[in-house]
Amino acid sequence: MSAKRSNEPFLWALFSAGGVVAALLMPILLFLYGLAFPLGWLKPPDYERTLRLVGHPVTRLVLFVFCSLPLFHWAHRFRFTLYDGLQIKHLNEVINILCYGGAIVGTLLAGYLLWNLP
């Protein structure tokens, strides 16, 4: 008799990786593009240089990870907020489909957009 294998370890890994990306990398980009460049504290990169940088495959991969992992972090956190906070565990399958489905759709959209950049 074999026990049913759970996908929880994989989801927790995505949750923690997304939390690290959201906690360590996102504040840096928000600081640069939200404060430092607009307020003139730092010289912003010009358009051509940014376009060359974003055109590089490694940069696209990094941007893909930067977009997708926080989505799974959100999905896992929101799922457990609905379970524990609102006590609606009876909608387990619907919540899983909506939360993780939304993260998967967002990941696919990010991949499509990054793949089709000029």
pTM (2 d.p.): 0.79
How many angstroms separate the CA atoms of 29 and 102, rounded? 24
Q: Pick from 67, 88, 72, 63: which is nearest to 10 by CA?
A: 72
How many angstroms separate the CA atoms of 106 and 67, rounded? 8
Cβ-contact 102, 75 below 8 angstroms: yes
- Local confidence band at 92 (pLDDT 50, 70, 90 cut-offs): confident
Q: Report yes or no on 4 lying in a domain.
A: no
Q: Report yes or no on 26 lying in a domain.
A: yes
Q: Report yes or no on 41 lying in a domain.
A: yes
Residue 2 pLDDT exceeds 70 = no
Tokens of 52: 């060359």
Element containing residue 117 per DSSP (H, E)? none
Q: Report yes or no on 3 lying in a domain.
A: no
Backbone φ, ψ for residue 73 (5° rounding) = -60, -45
Average pLDDT over residues 48-63: 92
CATH code, 93: 1.20.1300.10
How many angstroms separate the CA atoms of 31 and 33, rounded? 6
Residue 37 pLDDT exceeds 90 = yes
Q: Return the pLDDT at 88.
A: 86
Q: Report yes or no on 60 lying in a domain.
A: yes
- Local confidence band at 1 (pLDDT 50, 70, 90 cut-offs): low
